[in-house]
Amino acid sequence: MGDKARIAVLVSGGGTNLQALIDAQNSGLIDAGEIVLVISNRENAYALERARNAGIEAYAVTRKSCGGQEGWEARVTELFDSKEIDLIVLAGFLMILSKDFVTRYDHKIINVHPSLIPAFCGEGYYGLIPHQEALKRGVKVTGATVHYVNEIADGGEIIAQRAVYVEDGDTPETLQRRVMEQAEWQILPEAVAKLCNNIVSSR
């Protein structure tokens, strides 16, 4: 296992994208990487349960318990260092990271966003909101994007995108589900697999 890229996943909620990554690791799609750490900024996130069920070390680290954002980032950095993390994946992670933090991990943090960036993205666009806005604008195609994380919300370089058609009668909830199934759960594991291959081959 020592030659694999070491992955940390940051989560805030149910962890469906985390599950997609665990499944991709188990199936061999992610063969050059291993998820060794899962961190949630919410104590009751079901994603922590998913991680533990898969035998992955998992921690709840809240801003409150760390005395604020700076303390939180210091604690998370300690955990990353202790696990020698190569790649950080934001999978339904609903906290904005500081410029210092993302600069420290330049081109090592990726995020999956439920729209075709640059549409319906940026600060405040999370959860159902991108899908509500897509329906409100009447777009015929939406999708998901995997991108590097920088100091601008959803502003980093795009790694992968997949389009999903909007169907007549869609609600934000039905559209969200289809975007997850047809785009997010596909392109996030594929992007992680590719980046892990690059990390391992560049050693």
- Residues 48 and 149: their CA atoms lie apart, in Å, by 23
Q: What is the spatial distance between Cα 31 and Cα 7, in angstroms, rounded to a whole number? A: 12
Question: Is 113 a catalytic site residue?
Answer: yes
Can you point out the beta strands (E) in the chain?
5-11, 33-40, 58-60, 87-90, 109-113, 141-148, 158-165
Q: Which residues are registered as beta bridge partners of 34?
A: 6
Q: Tell me the backbone φ, ψ of residue 38, rounded to 5 degrees.
A: -125, 130
Please report, as a single letter, which amino acid is at residue 146.
V
Nearest by Cα to 7 from 56, 45, 61, 41: 56
End-to-end CA distance of the chain: 15
Cβ pair 128, 176 in contact under 8 A: yes
Catalytic-labelled residue, pool 107, 113, 131, 147:
113
Just list the catalytic residues.
113
